[in-house]
Each structure stands twice: as C-alpha cells, then as structure tokens.
Amino acid sequence: MAVAEVRITLKKGVADPEGKNTLKALGLLGFEGVRDVRSVKVFVIETEGEAGEAKRSVEEMCRKLLANPVIHNYSIRIK
Amino acid sequence: MKVSDARVCVLRIEGTNCEEESYLSFKRLGAKPEKVHLKQLTGTDVTSDEKRSLADYQVLVLPGGFSSGDYVRAGAIFAARIKSRLSRDMVEFVRAGKPVLGICNGFQILVETGLLPAMSGIMTEVPEAVLSTNDSARFECRPTLLRKVNRGSCAFTTKIPRNKISAIPSAHAEGKLMFPVDRSKSIVKELADNDQLVFKYVNPEGELAGYPWCPNGSTENIAGICNREGNVFGLMPHPERVFFRYTHPDWTRNPEGAGDGKAVFESVLDYVSKKL
C-alpha cells in the first residue's frame, strides 16, 4: 500500500480570495506581522500497489479531477 | 420538429436543486421536459423502466444547484461522472446540433467537462477555463443585469435583441470565469471573434462595471458563453428564476410583460422547431 499526499495550490498570478480574506480577518483579530496567507487544498489518497505505480496513477487523478490546469498546480508526495 | 414534440432532458444528480424551475420553464412553453437522474442515462442501479437514452432527447439542460456538494471544485464531480460514462453520447448530442444549456452549477459542469468554451473540437480533454471563487470569497445572491453581446450565433438568445439589458439574478460562490492567466487576453479576443461571448454583467447604463454589478470579478465581466456553433450555452445567472415578471425585484413598479428569463427558453425552442 502507498499513501499519497496531493497538494493543490493556485498558480502564480491567480487571485486567492480565501487567503486574502483570512489575512484580513487575522489582522482584525490583532495578529501582527502576518505578511500573506495562501490557501492550499490537500488530499490524502491511499492506494494499493507500490510507490512508483501510485505516483503515476495519482498524477492521472490530478489531471482528470483534482486540479484544474487553468488555475492549479499540484504536487504529489508518496509517504 | 414541433415544440410540443421536443423532449427536454433536465439532468440531475445528488445536490442538484434547480431542476423543478428549469423543468417548468420548458413545460409552460409547451415542450415535453423530463427530470432525469444521471443513473437513468448510464443504466446503473435503475430498473429497465427507468432507463433512458440521451439520444431520445432534443434538448439537454444541466440545472443549477450544488451537485455532489461542490466537492473538489463546483461541478467537477458531475463532470467526471459524465466524462467517464457518457462522453460519447454527449459528443454525439452536440455534434448533431442539439442544444445544451448549463445554468449556474450547470455552467460549471460544462466548463469542467470541456464542452465550453470548446474553442477547438467539441469536448476538450482538460478544461480550458474555470469558474473560480468569487473575488468576495462569498456566496453572492443578488439581482444582476446582463447585456447581450452575442451577434447571433447563440441558439439560446435569438429572441433577445443585441445590447438589451436583462435582469437575471445570480446566486453562486464560484462564478469568476477565468482563462490561463498568461493567455487570457488573446483567448477572450478569440472568443469574441468566434462570437462565443453571450452575456456580460453591466450597470443600469449598460457599461461594464465592478462589484456589485459584476458579482464575482469574472474576466471582462463575462456572465455566459457558448461554443462556436452556438448550441452549447452556459451562464452563471438563473433565467429560470425570472420566467414571470412577478419574480423580478421591481415587479410592483413594472408589472407588465414576461420575465426577462423567458426569452432564453423561447429562443431555444424556436431553434428546435426550425433546426431539428
């Protein structure tokens, strides 16, 4: 069995309203020195089979469902 | 074909919630709509009586809602299920010139399946656009004004004069239409050249304006687009919610006439009666 951790991040130049709103709210709560907040989505996927195979199939999952290439980058870490 | 013979498939899965209004919009105009669950088309977990074939319908509607809880991205799961089981039927449907309408969540589904903007071919393998989180990062539920910018290609707006401003309400959290950032300008130009732009969010003067006139920060205020042939159309606002004048916010002051959304359904049924 392999466990893959998939991180879906927004591409550079794509607005991140969730991150920006969180940044604003943290400021309102009195947290100082917060420079930026970015939102990231993480999926943890357990698969059968060995690591190399898992990597390939999770790549395919990212391409077909988990990420939209217009705004997303993804990275995969096999644990 | 006669409008009274036109069969309309209003397709739903778990989380779809605008199927009733969409169904009624076609019913009131004399067509034969039917609310169909995706499983009835794929033939999974249904009896033989419940099975349906997409090819038996003349119009396909993907209504609004929160299909599969908007998990992953709005419309992504519905799109994945269509792509896995219905790809070929879908492409055939569009190739035959039959109209496909996606409202709100339905628009998100059409973009995620690659049926819109479809600047090359009928259905792209990966999405060419996205309906991303509103600039406000909130669910925006408000009346919006749409100016028709289409020059005539779109089968769903032929009964609406060019540049007419229609009041059609929006209700979504992910409606910001975006293209790859580095090519956005040239893609929008190509869409305009192909006559694929249909509606833009405007202020009462008809000018492109910022929030709240544009509820989501969409690229160049685009609210709705169609494919090159004009038979696949998606928009974020809800024409089915303003079929009647009395569901407009200003109806007591302007009680006469039909609702602004009615023309969308009249246009597509006119297309069906002339072309299919």
Residue A71 in contact with partner chain B when CB distance is under 8 A: yes
Q: What is the pLDDT of residues B191-210, one digit of tens each?
A: 999 999 999 999 999 999 99
Record the tokens describing residue B128, joined without a space.
Answer: 């060419």
pLDDT tens by residue, B37-52: 999 999 999 999 999 9
| pLDDT(B36) > 90 | yes
B104 tagged catalytic: yes
Out of A18, A66, A69, the one facing B72 most closely (by C-beta) is A66
Catalytic residue (choose from B18, B238, B248, B266)? B238
So what's the pLDDT on residue A79?
Answer: 86
Candidate from A13, A63, A68 with C-beta closest to B181: A13
Helix spans in B137-255 (H)? 184-193
User: Would you give the DSSP letter of residue B239?
Assistant: G
Q: Sorting pLDDT into bands at 50, 70 and 90, what band is A49?
A: confident
Instruction: Give B76-108 pLDDT, tens digit per residue.
Output: 999 999 999 999 999 999 999 999 999 999 999
Dihedral-angle region of residue B118 (phi above 0 means left; psi in -120 to 50 means alpha; beta otherwise): left
Task: Enter the ipTM.
Answer: 0.87
Alpha helices, DSSP H only, in B65-119? 76-85, 87-95, 105-113
Interface check B134 vs A, CB under 8 A: yes
Alpha-carbon torsion, ordered B224, B37, B73, B215, to 10 deg: 30
Q: Among the options B104, B154, B214, B226, which is catalytic?
A: B104
Closest CA to B197 of B181, B177, B216, B180: B177
- pLDDT on residue B63: 98
pLDDT tens per residue, range A56-71: 999 999 999 999 999 9
CATH number for the domain formed by residue range(s) B3-275? 3.40.50.880
The answer to whether B240 is a known catalytic residue is: yes
Residue boundaries of the structural domains of chain A? 2-78
Chain A residues in contact with B127 by the CB 8 A cut-off are 68-70
> Which of 3.30.1280.10, 3.40.50.300, 3.90.960.10, 3.30.465.10 would CATH assign to domain A2-78?
3.30.1280.10
Q: What is the mean pLDDT of chain B?
A: 97
Residue A32 pLDDT more than 90? yes
Q: How far is CA B102 from the centre of its chain?
A: 3
Domain spans of chain B, in order of start: 3-275
Q: Is A63 on the interface with B (CB under 8 A)?
A: yes
pLDDT tens column, B115-172? 999 998 999 999 999 999 999 999 999 999 999 999 999 999 999 999 999 999 999 9
**CB–CB of A63 and B73 under 8 A?**
no
